[in-house]
A and B are shown apart, each in its own frame.
Chain A
Amino acid sequence: MAISRRDFLLNSARAATTTTLVAAGLVSYSHYSYSLPASAIRPPGALEEKDFNAACVRCGLCVNDCPYPTLSLATLRDDAALGTPFFTARKAGCEMCEDIPCVKACPTGALNKNLTKIEDAKMGLARIVDTKGCIAYQGLRCEVCFNVCPISGKAITVEMRHNDRSGKHALFVPVVNYDHCTGCGKCEEACITEEAVIKVLPLKLATGKRQDHYKLGWEEKQKHGKSLVTPDVDHKYNLPEGKKYDLQGEGLIDIKTDSSLDNALDTLNSMNPLFDIKRK
């Protein structure tokens, strides 16, 4: 059945139009769909989000091999890109299996096999997002997040601080240590407040970055074993003879050589009371 040139061109034009329409719809939908919500945490070893969306084929092998009801594949109801694996820390955090079965199961490398120690995972970063809501910051004893943290005593520590309200008590506040937190989310899952005040956030949201030109002198010095710039010269005042500089004594003062002033009581007595009043 021969097809006329006219029909061929018409068919092609129709197909091209349909395709362009579908493409336009898809691109805008994909833009929306690939902006991962902060509450969706990727499994351990997941590549950076953009690379992950290129690599993950949504097979669910990681979900099948997860021994806990933690991981699931996103449906159209979830905000994560359709079919991709994620977990919601508040519902069920990652239990941090020693053998990391989800990473082993991934056939495409979307979960990076270079991750061999679960303690090195960076699924996100826990942050106390609301110190007002956290009861520990209000002076109550809690420390639940500290106690459930799998990187025991490292990723979350409890710091003792002065309770300014009562003036005499201590606050025992949880502090997240960036270097050790894996973002497993057990703290968020366990947080006792109605809405968790400690939350696991994607690294991108939880961290900032200063420009490379900021060098911390004390760190550079330690790194190189010596100061990289000329060391500071001890400052010397160029003062008139017989004077010394002391701010508490309001600037230039005479150096007393009178030995009678060695007595502290005499010193106090010699002070002009009017002078003191003026200061206030």
Chain B
Amino acid sequence: MKKPNICKQIGQDVINSRGWFSANRFLFLRRFSQLSILFLFLLGPWFDSWVVKGNLTSSLTLDILPLTDPFVLLQSFFAGHSLAKDALIGALIVVLFYFAVGGRVFCSWVCPVNMVTDAASWLRCKLNIKTKSGGVSNKTRYWLLAMSLILAYLTGTIVWELVNPVSILHRGIIFGMSFGWGLIALVFLFDLFVVKNGWCSRLCPVGAFYGLIGEGSLLRINADKRDECTDCLECFAVCPESQIINPALKGEGSSIVLDSNCTNCGRCIDICEPKVFSYSSRFKKNTRPSNK
């Protein structure tokens, strides 16, 4: 028997009970966050009002707050460059921030590629395109992460930055893109036709790195009211890292989603009609058992 396409009616229950806006609350907030961060960077080049200079790899806000991508700095270190004070302070601030709110918050609330891959994921669902993972394991990202550091060491240059779609897109929008669009289009098509959530959830070493930063992060998704789960599977359908839900929702132990690959995007909170999920601290004690 052919399975019904879950995408056709996804979120319909929530929209009916809480309204369309409420059913997409965190999605809107994330888009707002992503776009306003991008807009802050563009204020300078577009309107000559320099609130933020630079781009996501390193920036200076209001001439006082330095922020540096710790991953690119680590590659620079592996390439043989001794770290400068400014960059180090910037990276430290970033690490501390993501340690608190969850490393992959970068992916779902900041990274501009997320809008591209989310679009691919949405379209893939609407067009009912189903392909297997193509053998691309979600552990591949750690291999690529290790590779980018090893190659930096071997070649003495920051090699990953030559192809990194995250910086190519963000830097491109601010400083000029030219053929960079081609690469972004490739990421989109790869996610759409080849592998579901292929880039962000399986390959991207930047995301893998930020995931590791947030290994012990404080802010977590909590399947607190998991006994009220109706097994509609919609959270699994919208979650870009769906393997992380099961242990919390259906497991014996804690109801906190402890997997560091959770991006804290909040889609599961929005989509769940019985409001099983919520944001909470990782230390919150769970009270209810799961209904297997």
Return the CB mask of B151-184 against A: 1 if under 8 Å, else 0. Answer: 1101111111111000110011011111110110
In contact, B69 and A109 (Cβ under 8 angstroms)? no
Taken together as a complex, chains A and B put the C-alpha atoms of A262 and B54 apart, in Å, by 88
Q: Which of B125-175 contact A (CB under 8 A)?
A: 135-137, 139-140, 142-144, 146-147, 151-152, 154-163, 167-168, 171-172, 174-175
B212 to chain A, nearest CB (A): 16
Closest residue of chain B to A18 (Cβ to Cβ) is: B140
Task: Give the total of B residues in contact with A, Cβ under 8 Å.
Answer: 62
Contact with A82, one of B135, B155, B161 (Cβ below 8 angstroms): B161
The verdict on A177 contacting chain B, using a C-beta distance below 8 Å, is no
Residues of A within 8 A of B144 (CB): 18-19, 22
Contact assessment for B140 and A19 in the assembled complex, using a CB-CB cutoff below 8 Å? yes
Q: Which residues of the partner chain B approach A64 to less than 8 Å between Cβ atoms?
A: 44-45, 50, 53-54
Contact A19 B147, CB 8 Å, known A12-B139, A54-B81 = yes
Interface string of A48-75 (1 = CB under 8 A from B): 0011011111111101110000001101
* Number of A residues with CB within 8 Å of any CB on chain B: 45
A11 is an interface residue with CB less than 8 A from chain B: yes
Q: Which residues of A contact B216 (CB under 8 A)?
A: none
Contact with B along A102-135 (1 / 0, CB 8 A): 0001011110000000000000000000000000
- Say which one of A25-33, A219-227, A247-255 lies at the interface with B: A25-33
CA distance A121 to B171 in the complex (A): 27
Instruction: Given A60-B174, A72-B176, answer yes or no on A82-B168 (Cβ-Cβ < 8 Å).
Output: yes
A1 close to chain B: CB less than 8 A: yes
B79 at the interface (CB under 8 A from A): yes
Tell me which residues from 230 to 246 in chain A have a Cβ below 8 Å from any Cβ of chain B: none
Residues facing A in B50-73 (CB within 8 A) are: 50, 53-55, 57-60, 66, 68-69, 72-73
| Shortest Cβ distance from B247 into A: residue | A1
* B-chain residues with CB within 8 Å of residue A12 when the two chains form the complex: 137, 139
For chains A and B in complex, what number of residue pairs have CB atoms within 8 angstroms? 163
Q: Is the CB of A59 within 8 A of B156?
A: no
In the complex, A83 has a CB within 8 A of chain B: yes
B128 to chain A, nearest CB (A): 25
Which B residue's beta carbon lies closest to that of A56?
B158
User: Do B171 and A73 touch across chains, with their CB atoms under 8 A apart?
Assistant: yes
Question: Bound state CA distance, A82 and B171, in angstroms?
Answer: 10
Contact of A15 with B139 at beta-carbon distance under 8 Å, contacts A54-B156, A57-B72, A59-B54 already known: yes
Bound complex: CA A82 to CA B165 (Å): 12
Within 8 A of A (CB), among B68-87: 68-69, 72-73, 76, 79-84, 86-87
How far is B160's CA from A57's CA once the two chains are assembled, in angstroms?
11
CB-CB under 8 A for A54 and B68, given A18-B140, A77-B179: no
Q: Please state if A109 and B176 are interface contacts (CB–CB under 8 Å).
A: no
Interface status of B90 (Cβ within 8 A of chain A): yes
Decide if A16 touches B54 in the complex (CB within 8 Å).
no
Q: A30-B155, A57-B87 are in contact. Are A22 and B60 (CB under 8 A)?
A: no
B246, chain A: closest CB distance, angstroms: 7
**Across the interface, do B81 and A51 meet the contact criterion of CB distance under 8 Å?**
yes
Query: What distance in Å separates the Cβ of B25 from its nearest Cβ neighbour in chain A?
Result: 30
* A201 interfacial contact with B, CB 8 Å: no
Write the nearest CB–CB distance from B190 to chain A, whole angstroms. Answer: 13
In Å, the complex CA distance between A79 and B178 comes to 13
Given A55-B81, A57-B57, A58-B171: A14 and B137 interface contact (C-beta under 8 Å): yes
Q: Is the CB of A14 within 8 A of B135?
A: yes
5 contacts between A and B (CB under 8 A): A23-B147, A54-B156, A76-B182, A108-B76, A109-B81
The 3 closest A-B pairs by CB, nearest first: A59-B58, A54-B79, A75-B178
